Amino acid sequence: MKKINPIFIPLLFVIFLFFIISTVSIIPVGYVGIPVLFGRVQTGYLDPGIHFTNPFTRVVKFDLRTQKADEEGVIPSKEMLNLTLKTSVNYHLNKSKIVDIYSSVGVDYFDKLIEPHIRSSIRQITSNYNAEQFFSGDRNEIASNIQKSLIQELEPRGVVIESIMLKEILPPESIRLAIENKQAQQQEAEGMKFRLQREKLEAERKKIEAEGIQQFQEIVKRGIDQNLLAWKGIEATEALAKSPNAKIIIIGNNDKGGLPLIMPTNN
């Protein structure tokens, strides 16, 4: 029996090790593997874990976790105004259709399948709405209709649409200026309304104050007669007469009850 040359033993060990390694496929959590042998897709798929396969088998891994597609582009409104729309679509791949996805579009499923349908559905749906509706309560309705269109187009192909969000909508420059002008006018109108309301309240306050003063004067007027005024005059004259300062007293003859005129001597 011919002996193996010792120099070949390390080489044989390396070949054996390479053979063992090539038969092991590790599928991470959240992924699925498709075995491909000589360009032909094998039956079934590989779940997460360690798998031993034919050393000539190539395992293609697909991510089954939620993925996000951000899109930005110019879309037409119903009146043919060009709006800049930024959207975000959350989706994941259907594991039961992974083999079909790979067989029909390969690993470039996003560029060949998902993105074209997203753009097509967005343009198709948005063309049914006026530009003003994108900035009103119809925004949620637009997003919902885009999602329904994507579900109808993509889910039969193995792509599950989870949600879609219209992140930002930018109108043309002329429309943007018109919207800002309208908002400014609305704010000015609200401010004018507030000022008019404030002035009205101030006028009512002054009116109430004037009415109060008038009522007070009428009450005081009714409570003062000529006899009271004469009596108060006598009291004041008497107080001045009792003052120690030198003075001149002029006594007139007034039939209506005039009071003496008291003047200081220094005048």
Q: How confident is the model at residue 246 (pLDDT cuts 50, 70, 90)?
A: low
| All structural domains of the chain | 6-63 (no CATH), 67-174 (3.30.479.30), 226-264 (no CATH)
Cα 191 from Cα 173, distance rounded (Å): 27
Q: Can you give the pLDDT at residue 264? A: 62
Instruction: Give the model confidence (pLDDT) of 202-217 as tens digits.
Output: 888 888 888 878 777 7
Q: Can you give the pLDDT at residue 4? A: 59
Cα 142 from Cα 127, distance rounded (Å): 10
Of 53, 48, 45, nearest to 27 by C-alpha is 48
Of 75, 58, 88, 95, nearest to 150 by C-alpha is 88
The average pLDDT across 223-247 equals 65
The average pLDDT across 195-204 equals 83
Q: How confident is the model at residue 249 (pLDDT cuts 50, 70, 90)?
A: low
